[in-house]
Amino acid sequence: MTLDPQTIGMMTAILALFMAAMLALTHLHRRQSLGVGHWAIGEFSFGLGLIFNLSASSPWLTNVVGPILACSGMATLIAGLLVFKRKNINWLWFAAYIASVTIIAILSGVFFPNQAVRTFLLSLMFAIAAGYGAKLMLVKVEPPLRMPYWLTGCFFLCIVLAMVSRAVFAVSSGASFLPYAPSLVNQFSLGLLCISFLVISYSFLLMMHFRMAMDLEKLASIDSLTGALTRRSLGEQAARIAKRRGNHSIGIIMLDIDFFKAINDRYGHQAGDKVLQHLSATAQAVLRGVDFFSRVGGEEFCALLTDSDENMTAIVAERIRDACAKSHVTYRGQRILYTTSAGVSSGNPAESTFEKMIGEADQALYLAKSAGRNRVVRWSNFQEMVDTETFTKAQIPDQHYSFTASNFRSPDDPEY
């Protein structure tokens, strides 16, 4: 059984209108999904334009309105891809493209009617838009978006192949060319166009689904206030590191803002939020790209350093502490100074669990706060003091100043 090109064209148009309705419903229920509205309009415009092009009721509908709508639909699909990728739409290019299609359609369809020339030029214009779509999709992208991206890009290339084949066939046939004559080239080009639009349409839905899943995963893994990882996400990263680099030591820094409640009480919780954000930004600026930083409690943070022993981890913790102590947060014209305390531990993930190392760093942090705050304490120091029962404040060297309740002063105080 063989399908004639006109039937294939009508099937493609109906498919496009059906997918337009599906995408429009999706857009109505989830307006924040980027690009879906553009895809719905593009599919509808393409389907309607193809129906007009297939009808023989009027030269204007068949030769002008139909091609303009079909090519505009393709251009709108490309605009939707740009929006989905959070890129700006070049409206000048868009307008120039539509104007070119309009001029070609009017001149070759009404004033100087020529089926072969019109099909050749409009097929190439359609191929240009599809080629740009392929360029947008065939790029390096993280999973799970990679599969629908590349699938969409490959079938945009199939549309380019279909349209170029149609253009070559039209110009080689000359005056004898008929757009929907039952020829092998027409069947191939329109059949490939139909299949490509089907795959691309479902790929759009797949991209939207994966983007939603990624956004939800990001919400679950990133602390919305500070931009640091959540504790659960940090645990997942630690598990991956243990699996891949089990023989390499990792470092843990437990970090706490000294007298954070006093900051909230004096300046308000919004000021406290600014301090949390400042600490997160400061710490992440000190850490390497292969390290991980997480907010594990109200004002408590944890850093995971890959390939780091206790000595190196303590050095990094001291850099973070020093950077915080030497800077300040400005809130409503007030300078807010704050300090941090840190506990450090390290170990081999193959020999010691992540939670055990966090517990060790947490105990070292407790000692840092008990010994006067604004300092870094190593787990090995804590262990030594507990073993020798010499847990005294004097054994922890004071670093800079201690930010205690008694010296927590107003910024108006000249000695602040």
**Could you count the other beta carbons within 10 Å of the beta carbon of residue 358?**
21
Above 70 in pLDDT, residue 402?
A: no
Q: Please report whether residue 412 resides in a domain.
A: no
Tell me what percent of the residues of the chain surpass a pLDDT of 90: 58
Q: State whether 213 and 299 are in the same domain.
A: no
Give domain status of residue 9, yes or no: yes
CA dist., res. 122 & res. 102, Å (int): 10
The model's pLDDT over 345-371, given as tens digits with 9 standing for 90+, comes to 998 877 778 889 999 999 999 999 988
Average of per-residue pLDDT across 181-210: 90
Residue 415 within a domain: no
Compute how many other C-beta atoms are within 10 angstroms of the C-beta atom of residue 18.
Answer: 14
How many structural domains does the chain have?
2
Q: In this structure, what token pair is assigned to residue 334?
A: 């007030």
**Cβ neighbours of residue 311 closer than 8 Å, sequence gap 6 or more:** none
Q: Using alpha carbons, select from 121, 106, 38 the residue that is nearest to residue 72.
A: 38
Ranges assigned E (strand) in 184-291: 250-257
Do 61 and 192 belong together in one domain? yes
Considering the domain architecture, whether residues 47 and 136 belong to the same structural domain is answered as yes
Please give the biggest Cα pair distance in the chain: 102
CB 399 within 8 A of CB 409: no
42 within a domain of the structure (yes/no): yes
Whole-number Å distance between alpha carbons of 61 and 164: 24
For residues 204 and 344, membership in a common domain is answered with no
Residue among 17, 29, 137, 11 nearest 73 (CA):
17
If you average pLDDT over residues 40-62, what whole number do you get?
90
**Is residue 55 scored above 70 in pLDDT?**
yes
Residues 144-154: what's their mean pLDDT? Answer: 93
Q: Count CB-CB contacts under 10 A for residue 264.
A: 17
Residue with tokens 């020093």, as numbered in its chain: 322
The sign of the CA dihedral 227, 231, 233, 236 is positive
**Among 45-59, 137-151, 194-208, 394-408, the least confident range:** 394-408
Mean pLDDT in residue range 199-209: 90
Is 252 in the same domain as 177?
Answer: no
Same domain for 210 and 316? no
State the residue range of the domain holding 168: 5-221
Signed CA dihedral, 157, 161, 167, 170: sign only: negative
Q: Is residue 58 part of a domain?
A: yes
**Does one domain contain both 174 and 297?**
no
299 is catalytic: yes
pLDDT number for residue 390: 53
416 belongs to a structural domain: no
pLDDT at site 16: 92
Of the residues 43, 299, 310, 360, only one is catalytic, namely 299
Q: How far is CA 167 from the centre of its chain?
A: 38
Are 384 and 290 in the same domain? yes
Q: Is residue 382 pLDDT above 80, yes or no?
A: no
Kindly state whether residue 131 falls inside one of the protein's structural domains.
yes
Last residue of a domain, one of 221, 256, 291: 221
Q: What's the mean per-residue pLDDT of the chain?
A: 87
More confidently predicted of 336 and 243:
336
Residue with tokens 């070049």: 90
Q: Prior bond to 59 cis, omega within 30?
A: no
Backbone φ and ψ for 305, nearest 5 degrees, come out as -110, 120
Residue after which a domain boundary falls, among 181, 202, 221: 221
Residue where a domain terminates, one of 221, 240, 266: 221
Give the three-class secondary structure for 252: strand
The answer to the question of residue 226 being in a domain is no
- Per-residue pLDDT, averaged over 65-94, amounts to 94
313 and 207 in one domain? no
Predicted confidence (pLDDT) per residue in 227-278, tens digit: 999 988 898 888 888 887 667 889 999 999 999 999 999 999 999 999 999 9
The answer to whether 341 and 375 have CB atoms below 8 angstroms apart is: yes
Examine the domain organization and report whether 273 and 128 are in the same domain.
no
Q: 184 near 191, Cβ under 8 Å?
A: no
Contacts 24+ apart (CB under 8 A), 247-250: 247/348, 247/350, 248/306, 248/307, 248/348, 248/349, 249/307, 249/308, 249/309, 249/346, 249/347, 249/348, 250/304, 250/305, 250/306, 250/307, 250/308, 250/346, 250/347, 250/348, 250/349, 250/357
- Tokens 């000249």, residue located: 414
Question: pLDDT tens for residues 153-173?
Answer: 999 999 999 999 999 999 998
Cβ neighbors of 177 (< 8 A, separation 6 or more) are 115, 116, 119, 169, 170
**How far is it, in rounded angstroms, from Cα 73 to Cα 189?**
18
**pTM of the prediction?**
0.67
Q: Are residues 375 and 321 in the same domain?
A: yes
Same-domain status, 386 and 311: yes
Structure letter (DSSP) for residue 109: I
